[in-house]
Amino acid sequence: MSEHFFNRYFFIDYENVGILGLKGLESLADADSVSIFFSEYAQSLTFEYHNKINDSKADIDLIKVETPGENALDFQLSSYLGFIISENQNYFPDETFNYYIISKDKGYKPLISFWKNKAAIEQYIDLTLTISADDYSARAGDINLLKKITSERGIVIPNGCLIKGDDIEFILNTVEGNVKLTQEILKLSAGGGLKTDLNALITKTYPHDTKKAGGLYQLIKHLFP
């Protein structure tokens, strides 16, 4: 075990969320531990986030998945999370810890369900909603934006949708206020849709303008696994 005591643990599936999954990194504290799992398929990082990692107060560990294969990163992240939970329960049985998986992959749901009676695990698509256990300003801001979108634009947020308020606003602006297409994109997210499904949806919406369809897809695809 590390000599440093952490209250919160973040496990980032970088192969799935990419650079957007690190949003909020600069707001973490020295009581936070961050494990960023990446592979040869996703290992690029901007200078901006190199600096944010170096300047962050959190303890950050970059873990490269050396063994290739489908779902290899998912398995290694899951097993490491289980190891950390077990270590904390053995060494600090009276302490409360919070664990966060940063990923859009719904495959982690069985893992979260397995641990639900033993450990508090939540899943998000970036770090912004976990900035502070006592400060809900980021969450409240997102909720207010969602209310604005639903009331003023007529958008219905389907259950299970992983796209947040600011990204919904981004989609609306990107598709030039096309509420119907935005709604279909949100339904796609809620149903576990992939980039390929998004591409098919946009192409179907603009069958006679492949250039426009391709451009919209390139702008929105980062929101899908």
pLDDT of residue 132: 45
Give residue limits of the domains in the chain: 8-130, 137-223
Question: Please, what sign has the CA dihedral across residues 111, 112, 113, 116?
Answer: positive
pLDDT of residue 80: 96
Nearest partner of 32 among 74, 4, 13, judged by Cα:
4
Is the pLDDT reported for residue 149 higher than 50? Answer: yes
Give 49-106 pLDDT, tens digit per residue: 788 888 888 999 999 887 767 788 999 999 999 999 999 999 888 888 999 999 989 8
pLDDT of residue 73: 92
Give the max Cα distance, the chain.
63
pLDDT of residue 48: 76
**CB-based contact 184:150 (threshold 8 Å):** no
Whether the full predicted model's pTM is greater than 0.75, yes or no, is: no
3-class SS letters over the chain: CCCCCCCEEEEEEHHHHHHHHHCCHHHCCCCEEEEEEEECCECCCCHHHHHHHHHCCCEEEEEECCCCCCCHHHHHHHHHHHHHHHHHHHHCCCCCCEEEEECCCHHHHHHHHHHCCCCEEEEECCCHHHCCCCCCHHHHHHHHHHHHHHHHHCCCCCCCCCCCHHHHHHHHHHCCCCHHHHHHHHHHHHCCCCHHHHHHHHHHHCCCCHHHHHHHHHHHHHHCC
pLDDT of residue 78: 96
pLDDT of residue 142: 52
Give percent above pLDDT 70 in the chain.
84
Q: Phi-psi category of 179—alpha, beta or left, where left has phi over 0 and alpha has psi -120 to 50? A: alpha
Q: Cα(141)–Cα(87) distance, rounded to whole angstroms?
A: 36
Alpha-carbon distances, residue 189 vs 11, 164, 213 (angstroms):
22, 11, 18
Give 174-206 pLDDT, tens digit per residue: 888 898 999 999 999 988 899 999 999 999 999
pLDDT of residue 37: 93
Starting at the edge strand found earlier in the chain, the sheet holding 8-13 runs 59-64, 32-38, 8-13, 98-102, 120-124
pLDDT of residue 133: 40
Give 115-145 pLDDT, tens digit per residue: 988 898 999 988 876 654 444 344 444 555 5
pLDDT of residue 150: 64
Is the pLDDT reported for residue 221 higher than 60? Answer: yes
pLDDT of residue 140: 41
